Amino acid sequence: MAFVITSPCIDEQAAECLDVCPVDCIVKGEDQYFINADLCISCGACEAACPVGAIYEEYDVPPEEAGSIEKAIRFFSQR
């Protein structure tokens, strides 16, 4: 995974990330947005656009948000 959307998105879901993603790799889930790692080109545009700071590169995800990585993997494995 290149970038991961974490739990602050659940409360916000502002979708600025959708507007700036050049490859349309961000998908709305039931309670938050998710980034499809197979399509992401790691440009960082979504991270910069997120108004609540919910997007991190996978290796920078804070320990308390590590569950967001697994949540994204589960989301895309069910599609």
d(CA 32, CA 10): 5
Domains of the chain and any CATH numbers: 3-77 (3.30.70.20)
55-57 and 26-28 strand pairing:
unpaired
pLDDT over 70 at 1, yes or no:
no
Q: What's residue 2's pLDDT?
A: 86
pLDDT over 80 at 4, yes or no:
yes
**Digit-coded pLDDT (tens) for 19-71:** 999 999 999 999 999 999 999 999 999 999 999 999 999 999 999 999 999 99
Q: What's residue 14's pLDDT?
A: 87
